[in-house]
Amino acid sequence: MSFKELIKAELELIPEQELQKLYDIIKDWPKHNQEYQDDLGALLANCEMSTGIADLSYQHDHYLHGTPKREIE
């Protein structure tokens, strides 16, 4: 059974007066989803710091655990 079919089956169980609330949530979902992504992007940008290490993310095992540096591909 697909997710759409599962959702349709569940919709049949929801009282009519509650469907307006659900509709409002579904209708606004793309807008809220974009807002959450924007908020996450802003949070990550605020957490950014300059370490002076250009290859930190690629060589994180070396800097955190002392393993040999990986060859750059």
The string of pLDDT tens digits covering residues 18-65 is 999 999 988 988 888 888 888 888 888 888 888 888 888 889 899 899
pLDDT of residue 2: 95
Q: What is the pLDDT of residue 53?
A: 84
Question: How many structural domains comprise the chain?
Answer: 1
Tokens 């409002």 correspond to: 24
| Separation of alpha carbons 37 and 28, rounded Å | 14
Which phi and psi angles does 52 have, rounded to 5°? 80, 5
The confidence score (pLDDT) of residue 51 equals: 84
- Structural domain boundaries enclosing 24: 15-43
68 domain residue, yes or no:
no
